[in-house]
Amino acid sequence: MAVNVVMPKLGLTMVSGKIVEWKKNEGEQVSEKEIVMVIETEKVTYEVESPGTGILHIIVAPDVEVPVSDVVGVLAENKGEYDKIVAGGAPAVAAAPAAAAAGPAAASAPTAPAAEAAAAPGERVRISPVAKKIAEDNKLDITKIKGTGPGGRVVREDVEKYLQQAKAAPAAPAEGDRLVKLTGMRKVIARKMLESKVQAAQAYMNNTVDATKIQEYRQILMPYIEKKSGVKITITDLMMKITAAAIEVHPVINTRWTDEGILWIKDVHMGMAMALDEGLIVPVIWNVNKKSLTEIAKERVSLIDRGRKGKLTPDEMKGSTFTLSAMGMYGLEQFTAIINQPENAILGVGTIIDKPVVVNGQIVIRPMMNVTLTYDHRTIDGAKAGMFMATLKSYIENPLLIIAKVD
């Protein structure tokens, strides 16, 4: 009996998904629990396991938005059943039928324009003198050019069109190079990042802060929290708590630009940029402004663990109002991050480095940390961003009031 492959519901709020790619080709044998397709929700991609064993018939092609529980493919029990399903009028594959029917491998770009119905081997090519001269000057094989002139004659326009296509086609990899096919996640990341740069008026603001006290308080609180909860608090945990407190003082940072107006969001839902081998994901800690350091640390550990195992749901990846991206573990002193749409700002946190600074007229060595704000200037004016950064600096350098509540 045939088994339907449906768009899965991966979270309470998920109503639809988009197929990024089929991992199996049309007519290919698929085993149960084998990865059969990659789908995209609001921000991330997920690998979907096959619900059964059988021969795959693809109904919905990539790049088509599909409601949850809709049938996107069918697994036939045997070849006879597969032939009946295909011949029985199953819904035709939507956009890009050739690539969908042949599977992801068939979608790779050619390195030269298609020859179409050009001259057969050994057949004399009828070509105009002008077209022949252009082809010779560009070292083109005229047998691969389809003629559109009278009697199939190759004319100037045919050669120029072929030449234009050849120049537009990607170059073949040189010896030693390798071409790695884009994954579904990489395609989503590329699209989201480009959309963010195009849609938002991104501006940047940087500050260097003294991390002496934030390090001291971490050392004081770490044994207590670890004994009580089993997790170690990090500078990132402290920065999320402190940043949320600064946002509460400057709520314009916690807004969204919409076509209807600016949406002001009451609570701070902190996106936590996290790198995987496949790319970047942003799980969310909700109501971080109302949570203790212990709660923040425990959620961070849980989200990181689930993210590495690919177990995060769409509900855990959406709804963020502000994102914090920490790169201190890579030794980076300073970097600028791209806004995680539809948010209006993101904070990049660099590593802590001992540096000589002037304090009370004396040169001393202090642990210094760089923080960089990327903000949407459509909503957040430079002065407002500067006020937020000043408050953030004061809280980092004097964190007692922020971190006093740890339970």
Look up residue 76 and give its two tokens: 């036939």
Last residue of a domain, one of 49, 71, 104: 104
Specify whether 374 is located in the same domain as 247.
yes
Residues of the chain short of pLDDT 50, as ranges, are 90-117, 405-407
Number of domains in the chain: 3
Q: What is the CATH number of the domain that holds 83?
A: 2.40.50.100
- From the list 282, 295, 284, 291, the residue with the least C-alpha distance to 319 is 284
Specify whether 306 is located in the same domain as 374.
yes
Query: What is the spatial distance between Cα 191 and Cα 186, in angstroms, rounded to a whole number?
Result: 9
Last residue of a domain, one of 113, 141, 168: 168
pLDDT tens-digit series, residues 169-207: 666 677 788 888 777 678 778 888 998 999 999 999 999
Specify whether 160 is located in the same domain as 196.
no
Q: Determine how β-strand 65-67 pairs with β-strand 16-22.
A: antiparallel
pLDDT tens-digit series, residues 362-401: 999 999 999 999 999 999 999 999 999 999 999 999 998 7
Whether 48 and 36 have beta carbons less than 8 Å apart is answered as yes
Q: What is the CATH number of the domain that holds 135?
A: 4.10.320.10
- From the list 220, 215, 240, the residue with the least C-alpha distance to 292 is 240
**Residue 84 forms part of a structural domain:** yes
Answer whether the bond into residue 342 is a cis peptide, omega within 30°: yes
Looking at residue 111, its pLDDT comes to 42
Specify whether 204 is located in the same domain as 159.
no
- From the list 70, 71, 67, 74, the residue with the least C-alpha distance to 41 is 67
**Residue 181 forms part of a structural domain:** no
**Residue 177 forms part of a structural domain:** no
Annotation marks residue 250 as catalytic? no
**Residue 123 forms part of a structural domain:** no
Q: What is the CATH number of the domain that holds 255?
A: 3.30.559.10
**Residue 116 forms part of a structural domain:** no
Specify whether 374 is located in the same domain as 230.
yes
**Residue 112 forms part of a structural domain:** no
Specify whether 191 is located in the same domain as 152.
no
**Residue 240 forms part of a structural domain:** yes
Specify whether 244 is located in the same domain as 373.
yes
Specify whether 88 is located in the same domain as 229.
no
Specify whether 208 is located in the same domain as 140.
no
SS (H, E, C) the chain: CCEEEECCCCCCCCCEEEEEEECCCCCCEECCCCEEEEEECCCCEEEEECCCCEEEEECCCCCCEEECCCEEEEEECCHHHHHHHHHCCCCCCCCCHHHHHHCHHHHCCCCCCCCCCCCCCCCCCCECHHHHHHHHHCCCCHHHCCCCCHHHCECHHHHHHHHHHHHHCCCCCCCCCCCCCCCHHHHHHHHHHHHHHHHCCEEEEEEEEECHHHHHHHHHHHHHHHHHHCCCCCHHHHHHHHHHHHHHHCHHHHEEECCCCEEECCCCCEEECEECCCCEECCEECCHHHCCHHHHHHHHHHHHHHHHCCCCCHHHHCCCCEEEEECHHHCCCCCCCCCCCCCCEEEEEEEEEEEEEEECCEEEEEEEEEEEEEEECCCCCHHHHHHHHHHHHHHHHCCHHHHCCCC
Looking at residue 165, its pLDDT comes to 82
Annotation marks residue 376 as catalytic? no
The dihedral of CA 204, 210, 213, 218: what is its sign? positive
**Residue 117 forms part of a structural domain:** no
Looking at residue 403, its pLDDT comes to 56
Specify whether 220 is located in the same domain as 88.
no
Specify whether 381 is located in the same domain as 339.
yes
Last residue of a domain, one of 104, 120, 143: 104
* Catalytic, out of 137, 305, 381, 407: 381
Specify whether 151 is located in the same domain as 37.
no
* Catalytic, out of 70, 267, 315, 377: 377
What residues make up the domain containing 215? 186-403
